[in-house]
Amino acid sequence: MERRARIYEGKAKILYETDDPDLLVQYFKDDATAFNAQKRGTIVGKGVMNNRISAALLTHLAEHGVPTHFVKLLSDREMLVKRLQIIKIEVVVRNIVAGSLSKRLGLPEGQALVEPVLEFFYKDDALGDPMINDYHIRMLRLASGTEMEAIVDGAFRVNELLTEYFDRRGIMLVDFKLEFGRYRGQILLGDEITPDGCRLWEKETRERLDKDRFRRDLGGVEEAYAEVLRRVCG
């Protein structure tokens, strides 16, 4: 597979075209950002760890019927993925109160939710990715009703599978974000599933094993990512 021109660079990843128009190389960086990129830094080795973690989790989901963009690992920092038309909706699934949900609703962090809460955000860096609802999605024509059904069903299925997966490894899946895209008439799960976009707490101690350690200057960031990698990949 020949890696060609760079077509996109985000906060944590770079996408490259390949000699197959349907496939891209997704490269994971060590760069770290928080608070809409107001805070920037580097997490040493993050790209290598996130590449392996995401590959393992996306493989697990695919094996249980969730269609994803993941094709195969190419190197320590690269994976081959299907080229999606990304839907500009970030989907957040919440199982336990943390972060912005705590601030918005005045609820204590760590409170378990009676049922998972689904939130949608408009993917637009210039606007700060504002929260939106079904009416906004229809108004902006971001996705059709059928596509949203697939996205919602997919998000809840991912939550069910990953909550169980992490629980068996002594980790609480507090919340996480997902992105979806169109591929040959189908909705696929895209992007990544890593400690960058998930809140993961150690089950016994509730120690944070995710990017909150970077956001909140807690230290031990690389060690937390390495622990998630160890539990996910062995």
Question: How high is the pLDDT of residue 79?
Answer: 98
Question: How high is the pLDDT of residue 1?
Answer: 74
Predicted TM-score (pTM) of the model is: 0.95
Measured from the Cβ of residue 57, the count of other Cβ atoms closer than 10 Å reads 24
* pLDDT tens-place string over residues 129-145: 999 999 999 999 999 99
Mean pLDDT of 179-189: 98
Q: Does position 38 have pLDDT exceeding 80, yes or no?
A: no
Distance CA 117, CA 124 (A): 22
Ordered by where they begin, the domains of the chain are 3-82 (3.30.200.20), 85-220 (3.30.470.20)
Q: Does position 82 have pLDDT exceeding 80, yes or no?
A: yes
Q: Does position 2 have pLDDT exceeding 90, yes or no?
A: no
Mean pLDDT of 22-47: 92
Record the tokens describing residue 190, joined without a space: 């895209």
User: Given pLDDT bands bounded at 50, 70 and 90, which one contains residue 34?
Assistant: confident
Q: What is the mean pLDDT of the chain?
A: 96
* pLDDT tens-place string over residues 99-121: 999 999 999 999 999 999 999 99
User: Given pLDDT bands bounded at 50, 70 and 90, which one contains residue 85?
Assistant: very high
Q: Does position 37 have pLDDT exceeding 80, yes or no?
A: no
* pLDDT tens-place string over residues 189-223: 999 999 999 999 999 999 999 999 999 999 999 99
